[in-house]
Amino acid sequence: NAPPESKPFVPAAIVPPSRASSFSSSSALAQIESAASTEKSSSQETSVAATCEEHSPPTTTRDETSKQTTGVLSTLSTRRVTRALGLGMGIQALTQLSGINAAMYYGADICIAAGFPQEAAIWLSTALTLAQLVGVCISLTTIDTRVRRFTLLRSLVFVAPCLFVLGGAFALGSSWLAVASLLAYLVAFGSGLSGVGYVILSEIFPLEVRGMCVAAGSVTFWVANSAVAFSFPVVSTRFG
Protein backbone atom coordinates (compact mmCIF):
# COMPACT_ATOMS: atom_id res chain seq x y z
CA ASN A 1 0.00 0.00 0.00
CA ALA A 2 1.28 3.47 -0.90
CA PRO A 3 1.77 5.89 2.01
CA PRO A 4 -0.78 8.67 2.20
CA GLU A 5 0.23 11.89 0.47
CA SER A 6 1.55 14.47 2.98
CA LYS A 7 0.13 17.97 2.98
CA PRO A 8 2.10 21.13 3.87
CA PHE A 9 1.62 22.48 7.32
CA VAL A 10 -0.04 25.90 7.46
CA PRO A 11 -0.29 27.72 10.85
CA ALA A 12 -3.83 28.32 12.04
CA ALA A 13 -2.98 31.96 12.90
CA ILE A 14 -2.42 32.64 9.21
CA VAL A 15 -4.89 30.30 7.52
CA PRO A 16 -8.21 29.45 9.18
CA PRO A 17 -8.94 25.71 9.59
CA SER A 18 -12.00 25.92 7.37
CA ARG A 19 -9.92 27.12 4.43
CA ALA A 20 -6.65 25.25 5.10
CA SER A 21 -7.43 22.53 2.60
CA SER A 22 -7.98 25.05 -0.21
CA PHE A 23 -4.49 26.52 -0.02
CA SER A 24 -1.74 25.13 -2.13
CA SER A 25 1.77 24.61 -0.80
CA SER A 26 3.16 27.68 -2.61
CA SER A 27 0.50 30.08 -1.37
CA ALA A 28 0.95 28.90 2.22
CA LEU A 29 4.69 29.49 2.08
CA ALA A 30 4.09 32.91 0.56
CA GLN A 31 1.79 33.81 3.47
CA ILE A 32 4.38 32.67 5.99
CA GLU A 33 7.14 34.67 4.32
CA SER A 34 4.93 37.78 4.15
CA ALA A 35 4.11 37.53 7.85
CA ALA A 36 7.79 37.10 8.75
CA SER A 37 8.76 40.05 6.55
CA THR A 38 6.10 42.26 8.13
CA GLU A 39 7.28 41.36 11.62
CA LYS A 40 10.91 42.04 10.68
CA SER A 41 10.04 45.44 9.17
CA SER A 42 8.07 46.37 12.25
CA SER A 43 11.00 45.52 14.53
CA GLN A 44 13.40 47.51 12.35
CA GLU A 45 11.12 50.56 12.42
CA THR A 46 10.88 50.29 16.18
CA SER A 47 14.68 50.10 16.47
CA VAL A 48 15.20 53.11 14.19
CA ALA A 49 12.62 55.15 16.09
CA ALA A 50 14.29 54.32 19.39
CA THR A 51 17.71 55.28 18.01
CA CYS A 52 16.41 58.61 16.68
CA GLU A 53 14.75 59.37 19.99
CA GLU A 54 17.95 58.55 21.85
CA HIS A 55 20.13 60.88 19.73
CA SER A 56 17.65 63.69 19.19
CA PRO A 57 18.49 66.93 21.07
CA PRO A 58 16.35 67.69 24.08
CA THR A 59 13.47 69.97 23.34
CA THR A 60 13.56 73.38 24.97
CA THR A 61 10.35 74.96 26.09
CA ARG A 62 9.65 78.68 25.86
CA ASP A 63 10.04 79.05 29.62
CA GLU A 64 13.46 77.38 29.56
CA THR A 65 14.60 79.61 26.69
CA SER A 66 13.40 82.67 28.57
CA LYS A 67 15.31 81.58 31.67
CA GLN A 68 18.49 81.03 29.63
CA THR A 69 18.20 84.48 28.03
CA THR A 70 17.60 86.07 31.42
CA GLY A 71 20.66 84.28 32.79
CA VAL A 72 22.88 85.51 29.96
CA LEU A 73 21.66 89.10 30.34
CA SER A 74 22.17 89.01 34.09
CA THR A 75 25.72 87.72 33.57
CA LEU A 76 26.47 90.45 31.04
CA SER A 77 25.23 93.12 33.44
CA THR A 78 27.60 92.14 36.22
CA ARG A 79 30.44 94.53 36.99
CA ARG A 80 33.12 91.93 36.29
CA VAL A 81 31.85 91.14 32.80
CA THR A 82 31.19 94.79 31.98
CA ARG A 83 34.74 95.75 32.91
CA ALA A 84 36.16 92.80 31.02
CA LEU A 85 34.12 93.70 27.94
CA GLY A 86 35.32 97.30 28.07
CA LEU A 87 38.91 96.10 28.44
CA GLY A 88 38.67 93.64 25.55
CA MET A 89 37.03 96.12 23.19
CA GLY A 90 39.47 98.84 24.23
CA ILE A 91 42.52 96.69 23.51
CA GLN A 92 41.13 95.68 20.13
CA ALA A 93 40.49 99.33 19.24
CA LEU A 94 43.95 100.31 20.50
CA THR A 95 45.70 97.79 18.25
CA GLN A 96 44.13 99.40 15.20
CA LEU A 97 44.19 103.05 16.25
CA SER A 98 47.92 102.75 16.85
CA GLY A 99 48.18 102.83 13.05
CA ILE A 100 49.34 99.32 12.29
CA ASN A 101 47.23 98.88 9.18
CA ALA A 102 48.23 102.27 7.82
CA ALA A 103 51.80 100.92 7.89
CA MET A 104 50.83 97.55 6.45
CA TYR A 105 48.38 98.71 3.77
CA TYR A 106 50.27 101.83 2.71
CA GLY A 107 53.85 100.91 3.57
CA ALA A 108 55.11 101.47 0.04
CA ASP A 109 53.33 104.83 -0.20
CA ILE A 110 54.89 105.92 3.10
CA CYS A 111 58.35 105.02 1.82
CA ILE A 112 57.72 106.93 -1.42
CA ALA A 113 56.55 109.93 0.62
CA ALA A 114 59.77 109.66 2.63
CA GLY A 115 61.78 110.12 -0.57
CA PHE A 116 62.54 106.63 -1.87
CA PRO A 117 61.94 105.63 -5.52
CA GLN A 118 59.02 103.33 -6.26
CA GLU A 119 61.06 100.16 -6.82
CA ALA A 120 62.98 100.63 -3.57
CA ALA A 121 59.73 101.40 -1.75
CA ILE A 122 58.27 98.05 -2.83
CA TRP A 123 61.29 96.20 -1.44
CA LEU A 124 61.13 98.22 1.75
CA SER A 125 57.46 97.28 2.21
CA THR A 126 58.57 93.64 2.21
CA ALA A 127 61.06 94.47 4.95
CA LEU A 128 58.21 96.06 6.95
CA THR A 129 56.31 92.79 6.93
CA LEU A 130 59.38 90.88 8.07
CA ALA A 131 59.89 93.40 10.86
CA GLN A 132 56.48 92.64 12.30
CA LEU A 133 57.24 88.92 12.04
CA VAL A 134 60.37 89.50 14.14
CA GLY A 135 58.23 91.26 16.74
CA VAL A 136 55.74 88.38 16.84
CA CYS A 137 58.61 85.95 17.47
CA ILE A 138 59.71 88.15 20.38
CA SER A 139 56.21 88.09 21.85
CA LEU A 140 56.23 84.28 21.84
CA THR A 141 59.10 84.29 24.31
CA THR A 142 57.11 86.09 27.02
CA ILE A 143 53.38 85.71 26.34
CA ASP A 144 53.26 82.42 28.26
CA THR A 145 56.12 82.90 30.71
CA ARG A 146 55.15 86.42 31.83
CA VAL A 147 51.72 87.88 32.43
CA ARG A 148 49.80 89.18 29.42
CA ARG A 149 49.91 92.68 30.87
CA PHE A 150 53.71 92.74 30.77
CA THR A 151 53.81 91.78 27.09
CA LEU A 152 51.18 94.37 26.21
CA LEU A 153 52.73 97.25 28.17
CA ARG A 154 56.23 96.47 26.89
CA SER A 155 54.91 96.80 23.36
CA LEU A 156 53.18 100.11 24.12
CA VAL A 157 56.32 101.54 25.73
CA PHE A 158 58.22 101.17 22.44
CA VAL A 159 55.36 101.80 19.99
CA ALA A 160 54.64 105.36 21.16
CA PRO A 161 58.25 106.70 20.87
CA CYS A 162 58.68 105.08 17.46
CA LEU A 163 55.61 106.89 16.14
CA PHE A 164 56.87 110.22 17.50
CA VAL A 165 60.26 109.67 15.84
CA LEU A 166 58.50 108.74 12.59
CA GLY A 167 56.58 112.01 12.63
CA GLY A 168 59.78 113.92 13.41
CA ALA A 169 61.61 112.20 10.55
CA PHE A 170 59.03 113.45 8.06
CA ALA A 171 59.22 116.92 9.57
CA LEU A 172 63.02 116.90 9.18
CA GLY A 173 62.91 115.30 5.73
CA SER A 174 65.12 112.36 6.75
CA SER A 175 64.26 109.35 4.58
CA TRP A 176 66.34 106.75 6.37
CA LEU A 177 65.25 107.89 9.82
CA ALA A 178 61.64 107.56 8.71
CA VAL A 179 62.16 103.99 7.46
CA ALA A 180 64.20 103.02 10.53
CA SER A 181 61.55 104.33 12.92
CA LEU A 182 58.83 102.58 10.90
CA LEU A 183 60.71 99.29 11.09
CA ALA A 184 61.23 99.74 14.83
CA TYR A 185 57.54 100.53 15.25
CA LEU A 186 56.52 97.30 13.52
CA VAL A 187 58.90 95.23 15.66
CA ALA A 188 57.50 96.88 18.78
CA PHE A 189 53.92 96.35 17.65
CA GLY A 190 54.50 92.70 16.84
CA SER A 191 56.10 92.10 20.24
CA GLY A 192 52.80 92.58 22.07
CA LEU A 193 49.92 94.49 20.53
CA SER A 194 49.79 92.22 17.52
CA GLY A 195 48.53 89.11 19.29
CA VAL A 196 47.80 89.82 22.95
CA GLY A 197 44.36 91.24 22.21
CA TYR A 198 43.12 87.97 20.71
CA VAL A 199 44.53 85.95 23.60
CA ILE A 200 42.98 88.18 26.25
CA LEU A 201 39.57 88.09 24.57
CA SER A 202 39.49 84.32 24.83
CA GLU A 203 40.41 84.28 28.53
CA ILE A 204 38.64 87.04 30.45
CA PHE A 205 34.96 86.20 29.93
CA PRO A 206 32.74 83.59 31.62
CA LEU A 207 31.91 80.64 29.42
CA GLU A 208 28.20 81.39 29.05
CA VAL A 209 28.82 84.84 27.51
CA ARG A 210 32.25 84.28 25.96
CA GLY A 211 31.02 83.91 22.39
CA MET A 212 28.96 87.09 22.54
CA CYS A 213 31.75 89.14 24.11
CA VAL A 214 34.42 87.86 21.72
CA ALA A 215 32.12 88.79 18.84
CA ALA A 216 31.78 92.32 20.26
CA GLY A 217 35.58 92.58 20.45
CA SER A 218 35.93 91.38 16.85
CA VAL A 219 33.40 93.95 15.65
CA THR A 220 35.35 96.67 17.46
CA PHE A 221 38.55 95.44 15.84
CA TRP A 222 37.21 95.60 12.29
CA VAL A 223 35.40 98.91 12.77
CA ALA A 224 38.64 100.51 13.95
CA ASN A 225 40.53 98.75 11.17
CA SER A 226 38.18 100.19 8.55
CA ALA A 227 38.35 103.67 10.10
CA VAL A 228 42.16 103.70 9.87
CA ALA A 229 42.26 102.16 6.39
CA PHE A 230 39.80 104.61 4.85
CA SER A 231 40.92 107.75 6.71
CA PHE A 232 44.68 107.43 6.19
CA PRO A 233 44.73 108.43 2.47
CA VAL A 234 42.54 111.47 3.24
CA VAL A 235 44.66 112.57 6.20
CA SER A 236 47.89 111.93 4.29
CA THR A 237 46.72 114.00 1.32
CA ARG A 238 45.46 116.87 3.39
CA PHE A 239 48.22 117.15 5.99
CA GLY A 240 51.13 115.48 4.17
| Rounded Cα distance, 131 and 152, in Å | 18
- pLDDT of 50 over the 70 cut: no
| Rounded Cα distance, 135 and 148, in Å | 15
pLDDT at 235: 86
| Rounded Cα distance, 32 and 223, in Å | 73
- pLDDT of 212 over the 70 cut: yes
The confidence band for 10, taking pLDDT boundaries of 50, 70 and 90, is very low
Of residues 90, 224, 232, 239, the one with CA closest to residue 156: 90
- pLDDT of 223 over the 70 cut: yes
- pLDDT of 6 over the 60 cut: no
pLDDT at 13: 47
Q: Which helix (H) or strand (E) holds 84?
A: helix 79-97
The confidence band for 54, taking pLDDT boundaries of 50, 70 and 90, is low
Is the Cα dihedral 181, 184, 188, 193 positive or negative? positive
For the segment 127-153, what is each residue's pLDDT rounded down to a tens digit? 998 999 999 999 988 888 888 889 999
- pLDDT of 176 over the 50 cut: yes
165-199 exposure pattern, b = at least 16 Cβ within 10 A, e = fewer: bbeebbeeebbebbbebbbbbbbbbbbbbbbbbbe
Q: What's the Cα-to-Cα distance from 167 to each of 22, 84, 157, 195, rounded to whole Å?
A: 109, 34, 17, 25
Share of the chain above pLDDT 70, in %: 68
26-35, 113-122, 150-159, 189-198: which range is least confident on average?
A: 26-35
Contact 103, 96 (CB under 8 A): no
| Rounded Cα distance, 190 and 151, in Å | 10
For the segment 16-43, what is each residue's pLDDT rounded down to a tens digit? 555 444 445 556 556 655 655 665 556 6
- pLDDT of 193 over the 70 cut: yes
pLDDT at 23: 46
Average pLDDT (57-81) is 63
